[in-house]
Amino acid sequence: MFPRSHFSGEVRRAPASACSRSRLRAGGTVLLPSMLMFGVILASSGLLLMIEKGILAEVKPPPLHPPAGELARRVGGREVPGDFDHEVLRDIRNRTIRSVCGQRAMPRSVWELPAGQRRTLLRHLLVSDKYRFLYCYVPKVACSNWKRILKVLDGALESVDVKLKMDHKSDLVFLGDMKPEEINYRLKNYYKFIFVRNPVERLLSAYRNKFGEIKEYQLKYGVEIVRRYRKNGGKSAGDDVTFSEFLRYLLDEDVEKMNEHWMPIYNLCQPCAVRYDFIGSYERLNEDANHVLEKVQAPSFIRFPERQSWYKPVTAETLHYYLCNTQQKLIKELLPKYILDFSLFAYPLPNITSEFCRQ
């Protein structure tokens, strides 16, 4: 089974103690996956069977991303912030990353990656030489706001609140534009971080944004998707792509050739080839962003931008609607493409059981 919940935090690579290992096994709620386990499950269709029978939905450890301020524990009769729970859950995720990335076939540096994968990674690592950090940006995980911060830190933008359409290329420094020795130095000596998000929520966010609002994506991808997967779809302007058609398109796509907005986070940021110091999450965006800004010693006047008023968040109700109105078989077939995102970053597989969808 895979961890039911998700969380964020700094990556620690100290070896696990025998005591903690046995505790994780004995509890029956969390099993740390390995590449061997992935192979066995996928080869036997066990993963799909587990989803179909709702086995994954029955495992309910504490929530790992409660809204800020909700999590608390009692010490000496009074309530204090529940950072302890996040520490425990962060440790589980870090053990998972170590377990998977420790497999013999997994890359241990950027130079062990095939050329195409290395280009994708280096193209997504943004550099701040002034504050000595690398940020691997993931589209649909607040990357526009992080780019705003980078531009302010570099003096190219006056404030994170400036109302300008985001230029995702200019005034940004990409690791891929540097020489190998410069790349190696920064990978070794700079603070490295990424932000992750529930894979299904990220896909839904990309679908609603790109095909519901952006003409360029409707014409470039939408027209082709409708033509390919809909009978008599040749007259579509690409603005009426259904979620099911989008998922069918992803199912047929080569992961390494996907658009960055729906390419798996693993392929974008290669967490086995790059040892990230911190993995933040979309679910605790402000808290984790403030932690990073403090770590890189950003000026105190720089804060993470507020969410734009026009932004349409993916709510639990929205996710429920789309998942439960999509063919279960389609979702099950797509999951293996994103399985490393679910497992490495400890996100739950989507609940698509009949009981859940009746609610």
Calpha distance 264→342 (Å, rounded): 10
Residues 6+ apart with CB under 8 A from 178: 127, 186
Q: Which two tokens stand for residue 287?
A: 């808290």
Give CA angle at 138 (130, 310), nearest 5°. Answer: 100
CB 61 within 8 A of CB 30: yes
Q: Which two tokens stand for residue 351?
A: 């609940």
Kindly give the confidence (pLDDT) of every residue in the chain, 359 residues in length, as a single tens digit, with 9 standing for 90 and above: 433 333 345 554 444 443 433 333 333 333 333 443 444 333 333 444 444 444 344 333 334 444 444 444 433 444 445 467 677 767 878 889 999 999 999 999 999 999 999 999 999 999 999 999 999 999 999 999 999 999 999 988 888 877 666 666 788 999 999 999 999 999 999 999 999 999 999 999 999 999 998 999 999 999 999 999 998 877 899 999 999 999 999 999 999 999 999 999 999 999 999 999 999 999 889 999 999 999 999 999 898 887 766 667 899 999 999 999 999 999 999 999 999 999 999 898 998 888 889 87
Calpha distance 135→296 (Å, rounded): 11
78 strand-pairing partners: 75
Q: Which DSSP symbol is given to 112?
A: G
